[in-house]
Structure 1
Amino acid sequence: MYDAPWHVPSALFDPGWVDRMRDSTAVSEFSPEAAIITAVFFGVFVVLVATAFLVKSRGAGEVRLTPLTWITDTAKIREIFLNALRRRSKIRLTFSREDATGVFTDAALSEVYSDSLTLELSATVQANRGWIGKRVECDFRLRLDPAAEQWNFYTFVAGITDARVVPGQFAQVTISLPSRLEMEQKRAFLRVEPGRADVRELDIWPETHVRDEPHRPDDPETWGHPDLTLTETTAPDIALDNVSGGGLRLSLRGDALRTGLTLLTPGRRVYLFLRLADRQAAGESILFRLACQVMNAYAADAPDGSRAFGLRFVGFGEPAADNPARLGWKALQGGGVPAVDDWAYAKHLDMYRARGK
C-alpha cells in the first residue's frame, strides 16, 4: 500500500486515513498510521510522567535544603533571645527596603514571649500605630561566653504587631517571634562609600618598619612618618573608595600610586591609622589603628590612571587596660573590627534614610 516509509507521515493528513486505519485494525492488518499514533501517545505519556517525577523530586529536595547558617527551631530561637535579654544585647532595627520610610533606630530587648518580642526605643523615635503590619529587618550580636571574645551575629525579619509610646519615657514595639535566625557575619560584608568629608586622615606604614627597632607596634609615637598619607593636601591622589568592618579599598594615582605600587603589593602586611568623622558628634573624629593584609591590586583601567587596592583587616589596636598610652592588639571578632563595623553601619543607615526621603 505504501511504497516508501517517508510516505507515512504525509498519509496522516490524507482525508481517508481514519477509515483506512479502522479497516486495517478490523482485519488485523498492520497500519503505519496506527503505529505512529500509538508511539506518539505513549512517548508523550512517558515524557509527562518523567517530568512530573523530576519536578516532585526537585521540590522535595528544595524543602530539605536548609542553609547551615539558619536556625529554624523555635525553642532554640527563643533561647537565643532569652540569652540576648540577659546580656542586654542591642538590636538594630530598620524597615524593610520595600518601605520608603527610611526609619531606623537601635532598640533594647525588654520581653521575650512564646510568639513575640517587645523592644524599647528612645522616646524621641516617632513610633505610631501606622507601623503595625510593617516588616522590619533586625540584627544583633551576642557573646555566649562572657569570658571569651567570640561574638555571634544574627539577623532576622519580623512583622510589627503593636506600637505605642509612653509619654516622656520610651516607645515600645512588639514584633513577632521570627521563624528563623540567620547567623551572618555582617560586619565583614556591609561596605559603604564614605564621602570626602568623612575621611579626616589615613596613614599607612609597612609592617617591617613598625616592627623594627626602635619602632614598636604598641607605641604609635615611635612609628615615624608614614609611607602614604591622606590629608586635605593629598586628597586628589588618594581616595578611600569603600570601607567595612572587614576591610577597605583605596584608589591611588600620581606620586601616591608610585609609592603604593611597592607598599601595597598583594600579600604584604601594613599598619594603618584611620581617622573618620564621628557620625554622632559633629566636628569630632573616631580613631582606628588597624593591621591589614593587601589582598588585591586592581588593573589600571580608570580614565585618570588611578589604581585600586583591596586591604583586609587582620587585627586592631585599642588602648591597653593597664596603660592607655600603649596599644593592645586584638584579633578580629566575627570577621571584622567591631568599631569600624559600627561606623559603617551608621553610615549605611544615614544613606538609607536619605534615599527614603
Structure 2
Amino acid sequence: MARDEHEKFEIQFHSKSEKRRSTSCLLTNITPEALTIECNGLTNLQSSWVGKDVDCYFQVKKSSTGNTFFMFTTPIAGIRGYTDGTSVLTLKTPNKLEQRQKRASLRISPPSQYIMGLAVWSAPDNISAKGTLDIRQWGRPVLTYLPEKNYQITLDNISAGGIKVRIPRTEVRNCNLDFSIGDKLFLLLDMWDPDTGQRVRYWLLCRVQNPFIDFVTHDAELGMQFLYLAQPDAKNAAELRWNEEPIGSGLDSIGNWVMRRHLELYREKGI
C-alpha cells in the first residue's frame, strides 16, 4: 500500500559518530528477498555500507482510521549511484514490521497564537557548528514571520526533529533561495509555552529535506531537519555558542511541547 500510494520512506543509518543520519526515499520494488528504494539526498556512497543495518520508517494512509505508522530494521544488500544524483539502495526484505512511529516524526500544526516569530537566513555551505558565531554578520533574514505584521513565511507543522514551512510564491521569487536538498539554513524560532507562560526561543542550524513547489498556487513547501542548536553566549548576547553534539533524533523540549499540544487538541476537539 505504501509503495502504491508513493509514500515517503525515511531510512536512518546506524552510526557511532553521529546520533542521527537519515534521508528520505521512495520504495520502487518489492520481492520476497529484497526491497529497492530510490534516494536523492545521499552523497559519498560507500561500499562499506553493504551489510550494515538501517532503520526504515513509513506510513500508510487510511481514511477511516487516519495514518498508520510502521518501522523495520534490515541490512543494506547493495548500492548503486547514477550521474543524475539518484542513489538506489537494495535492502533485505525484513522478517517483520513494527507498528511504531519515530518520535521525531510526531508533528503538529500549532495554533497560530503559539507561534510568536520566525526568521530564516541562508547559511554558507562550509558553515561550522563549532565555537561561536556573530549574529551581526548574518545581515537581515531572507524570510520572516511576525504575527499581525509580516507574513513572508508561515509554519505548517513542527516536530522534535524539524519543521515544514510554506512560502508564498511572491516571496519565493524575492528570497533568492534555491530550495535544494542539503542546503543549510539558520532558523530563529519563537514559541509560546502555555504551561510556563513564557516565550521559548530556539536558534537552529537546519538542513533542507523536502522542497516542493505547489503546481496550483506556486507556493513553496520546505521541510527542514534540525541539525544543531545554539545558545546566546553568556558574555556577548550578539554571539551564539553552538552545542557540540548534533541534535540527532530530535530536541526533547520541542518534542514535549508538541506532545502536550497534541493532548490539548484531543481533549478540546476530540481529534
TM-score, normalised by the number of residues in structure 2? 0.54
Q: How many pairs were matched up?
A: 171
Question: 2-side partners of 1:289 and 1:197: how far apart?
Answer: 20
Shift, 1:222, TM fit:
3.7
User: Are 1:280 and 2:184 matched, yes or no?
Assistant: no
Question: 1-side partners of 2:204 and 2:119: how far apart?
Answer: 10
Superposed CA deviations along residues 72-121 of structure 1, whole A, max 9, x for unmatched, are xxxxxxxxxxxxxxxxxxxxxxxxxxxxxxxxxxxxxxxxxxxxxxxxxx
Shift, 1:247, TM fit:
0.6
Question: 1-side partners of 2:270 and 2:214: how far apart?
Answer: 35
- Determine which of 165, 169, 176 is the counterpart of 1:250: 165
Q: AA paired with 2:186?
A: Y
User: Are 1:264 and 2:173 matched, yes or no?
Assistant: no
- Is the 1:238–1:252 contact (alpha carbons within 8 Å) kept by the matching residues of 2? yes
User: Are 1:309 and 2:222 matched, yes or no?
Assistant: yes
Question: 2-side partners of 1:323 and 1:338: how far apart?
Answer: 26
- Determine which of 130, 133, 138 is the counterpart of 1:223: 138
Give the structure with the larger helix fraction: 1
Q: With a CA cutoff of 8 Å and minimum separation of 6, indicate the structure with the bigger relative contact order.
A: 2
User: Pairwise mapping of residues 29-40 of structure 1 onto structure 2 (< 5 A)?
Assistant: none
- Determine which of 208, 221, 233 is the counterpart of 2:149: 233
* Gap runs ≥5 in structure 1: 1-67, 70-181
| Higher Rg | 1
Shift, 1:217, TM fit:
5.2
- Is the 1:271–1:292 contact (alpha carbons within 8 Å) kept by the matching residues of 2? yes
Give the equivalent residue in structure 1 for 2:259: 345
Give the equivalent residue in structure 2 for 1:329: 242
Secondary structure of the 2:158 match is strand
- Determine which of 189, 203, 209 is the counterpart of 1:289: 203
Shift, 1:281, TM fit:
3.9
Question: 1-side partners of 2:179 and 2:124: how far apart?
Answer: 13
Q: AA paired with 1:345?
A: M
Question: 1-side partners of 2:270 and 2:182: how far apart?
Answer: 41
Give the equivalent residue in structure 2 for 1:207: 123
Percent of aligned pairs with the same amino acid:
25
Question: 2-side partners of 1:211 and 1:267: how far apart?
Answer: 13
Question: 2-side partners of 1:184 and 1:286: how far apart?
Answer: 26
Q: Which runs of 4+ in 1 moved over 6 A?
A: none
Give the structure with the larger strand fraction: 2
Aligned-pair Cα RMSD in Å = 3.3
Give the equivalent residue in structure 2 for 1:189: 105
Q: AA paired with 1:267?
A: G
- Is the 1:210–1:223 contact (alpha carbons within 8 Å) kept by the matching residues of 2? no
- Is the 1:240–1:251 contact (alpha carbons within 8 Å) kept by the matching residues of 2? yes
Question: 2-side partners of 1:195 and 1:210: how far apart?
Answer: 36
TM-score, normalised by the number of residues in structure 1? 0.42
* Gap runs ≥5 in structure 2: 1-53, 56-98
Shift, 1:309, TM fit:
0.9
